[in-house]
């Protein structure tokens, strides 16, 4: 992967308001290449909203997201993989057609379709219609999307939902390989992900806390920053 040494996804003074509820305010974060950032917190704390803001799919109420380093000739959106709750799989198409589509659309810079299916443990199922896959297999197919197109930033929302233990371990291996290649990985999760050294960002009713971190210290106007180390 051609990633510069100092690649980092930086969120500056991010605020998010959903309806009347202020989820977080003045949140500064930095996800550096090679070190996973795990976002934790109770349901409704704003994890998914934060990830969608970081992926550029939701505009922040205030603040901005930028990528330092990396391939400057591409737009930010073209360097991000976003894996949300939905698998983006069309049941009417075959497994291989689904993955081939995403390979063509996101840029065929990674593994081939067959190889990627083999990697996620769907080898030999390429010709089946995707509608017959189980929830866990659908998830594996969605994860295969991360492998067919090489991108610097992975933004993952509950990536291991519905995966069995073996598949979770395999997924963690993909994540570690991505980090070892200098990539950025930001994941929201309730279950522990075995990603090696990670920074943790805790969102909650009391505000946002950074743990062990490359997280920036709380600014003067960082409303919801509690600023205490957990």
Partner 1 sequence: MWSAFIAVVRRDLGLALGSGGGAGLGVVFFLSVVTVVPFAVGPDLVLLARIGPAILWIGALLASLIGLERLFAGDVEDGSLDALSLSALPLELTAAAKGLAHWIATGLPLVVAAPALALMLNLDGRAMGAVMLTLLVGTPAVTFLGLIGAAFAGAFRRGGLLIAVLVIPLAIPVLIFAVSATTAAVTGPVPFGTPFRVLLGLALFALVLGPVAAAAALRGARG
All residues at 6 or more sequence positions from 101 whose CB lies less than 8 Å from its CB, including other chains: 93
Scanning 5-13, 98-106, 110-118, 158-166 for contacts with partner 1 by CB under 8 A, the matching segment is 98-106
Q: Return the half-sphere exposure (C-beta side, CA atoms, 13 A cut-off) of residue 95.
A: 26
Whose Cβ is closer to partner 1: residue 58's or residue 125's? 58
Shortest distance (Å) from residue 89 CB to partner 1: 7
Interaction between residue 86 and partner 1 (CB under 8 A): yes
Interaction between residue 77 and partner 1 (CB under 8 A): yes
Shortest distance (Å) from residue 21 CB to partner 1: 16
All residues at 6 or more sequence positions from 224 whose CB lies less than 8 Å from its CB, including other chains: 22, 24, 25, 26, 27, 207, 208
Interaction between residue 64 and partner 1 (CB under 8 A): no
Whose Cβ is closer to partner 1: residue 35's or residue 81's? 81
How far apart CA 180 and CA 183 sit, in angstroms, is 7
Question: How many chain residues bind partner 1 (CB under 8 A)?
Answer: 29
Interaction between residue 82 and partner 1 (CB under 8 A): yes
| Maximum C-alpha span of the chain | 57
Exactly one of 62, 97, 125, 181 binds partner 1 (CB under 8 A); which one? 97
DSSP state of 38: E
Are 174 and 164 in contact by the 8 Å Cβ rule? The answer is no
List interacting residues with partner 1 (CB under 8 A): 55-59, 74-75, 77-78, 80-82, 84-90, 92-93, 97, 101-102, 104-107, 145
């Amino acid at each position: 992967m051609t990633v510069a040494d100092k690649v980092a996804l930086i969120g500056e003074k991010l605020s998010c308001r959903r309806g009347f509820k202020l989820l977080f305010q003045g949140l500064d974060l930095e996800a550096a290449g090679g070190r996973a950032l795990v976002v934790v917190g109770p349901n409704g704390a704003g994890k998914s909203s934060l990830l969608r803001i970081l992926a550029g799919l939701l505009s922040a109420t205030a603040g901005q997201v930028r990528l330092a380093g990396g391939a400057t000739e591409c737009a930010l959106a073209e360097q991000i993989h976003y894996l949300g709750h939905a698998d983006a799989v069309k049941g009417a198409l075959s497994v291989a057609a689904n993955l081939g589509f995403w390979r063509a659309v996101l840029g065929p810079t990674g593994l081939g379709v067959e190889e990627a299916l083999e990697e996620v443990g769907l080898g030999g199922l390429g010709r089946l219609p995707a509608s017959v896959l189980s929830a866990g297999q659908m998830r594996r197919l969605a994860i295969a999307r991360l492998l067919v197109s090489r991108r610097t930033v992975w933004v993952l929302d509950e990536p291991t939902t519905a995966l069995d233990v073996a598949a979770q371990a395999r997924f963690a291996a993909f994540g570690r390989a991505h980090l070892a290649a200098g990539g950025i990985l930001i994941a929201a999760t309730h279950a522990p992900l075995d990603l090696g050294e990670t920074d943790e960002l805790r969102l909650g009713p009391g505000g946002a806390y950074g743990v062990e971190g490359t997280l920036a210290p709380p600014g003067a106007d960082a409303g919801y920053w509690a600023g205490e180390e957990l």
